[in-house]
């Protein structure tokens, strides 16, 4: 029983940590809109196939960077840049 309680507490802590971490990494459109003028901002559109071609909404300054080719394009950006990945 004690082990179960510990496991449960661990899972809640882990869930909360992931949530805080992901909240920090996810931004909404208003936050992005406020950042658009920033010179170090790079918007990467990681959509491919129909996800990209069927969508009418494409951010004008976005660079297409397929998620599957992450290893190729990730190295080309310096660490002082703010990378925003756009997937939907």
Partner 1 sequence: MKLFLYSIAIPIGVMLSPETLVLLGNSAGYNGALFFLSVAIAAVVSCMCAYSIFYLGRQADEGNELSLLAKVLGRFPAAALVISARLSVTLLVATSVLVTAGFAFNEIFVYWFPNFGFAFLLLGFILVFNIIDKSWAAKFQLLLVSCTLLSFSVLLIEGLFFPPSANITTQASELTSLAAASGALLLFLGFDLIINSQAKNKLIPALAAICTIFMLFILWGAVSRAYVPSSSLIESSLPHLKAARSIMGQNGRLLMGVVVICGATAAVNGLFLYMGQTASDLAEQEIIPRFKGEKTLHRLAIILLSLTIGILMMSGLAGEDKLTIYYRGALVLWLLLLSFRCFTAAYLHSSRKSFSFVAVTTGCIIGFLSLLLVAAAEYTREQLFFCLQVYICALLLMLIWPAMVKLFSVINRQSDKEKYL
Q: Which residues here bind partner 1, judged by CB under 8 A?
A: 47-57, 66
First-last CA distance in the chain: 43
* C-alpha radius of gyration, the chain, whole number: 18
**Nearer to partner 1 by C-beta: 12 or 87?**
87
Instruction: Give whichever of 40 and 69 is closer to partner 1, judged by the CB atom.
Output: 69
Q: In angstroms, give the least distance from the CB of 35 to partner 1.
A: 22
CB of 56 to partner 1, least distance (A): 5
Q: How far is the CB of 53 from partner 1 (least distance, A)?
A: 4
Give the closest residue to 65 by CA, choosing from 44, 51, 81. Answer: 44
* Residue 72 and residue 31 in contact, taking contact as beta carbons nearer than 8 Å: no
């Amino acid at each position: 029983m004690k082990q179960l309680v510990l496991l449960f507490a661990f899972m809640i802590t882990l869930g909360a940590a992931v949530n805080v971490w992901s909240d920090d990494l996810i931004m909404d459109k208003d936050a992005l809109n406020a950042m658009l003028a920033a010179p170090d901002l790079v918007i990467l559109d990681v959509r491919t196939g129909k996800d990209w071609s069927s969508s009418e909404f494409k951010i004008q300054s976005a660079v297409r960077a397929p998620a599957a080719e992450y290893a190729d394009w990730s190295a080309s950006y310096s660490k002082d840049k703010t990378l925003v990945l756009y997937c939907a």
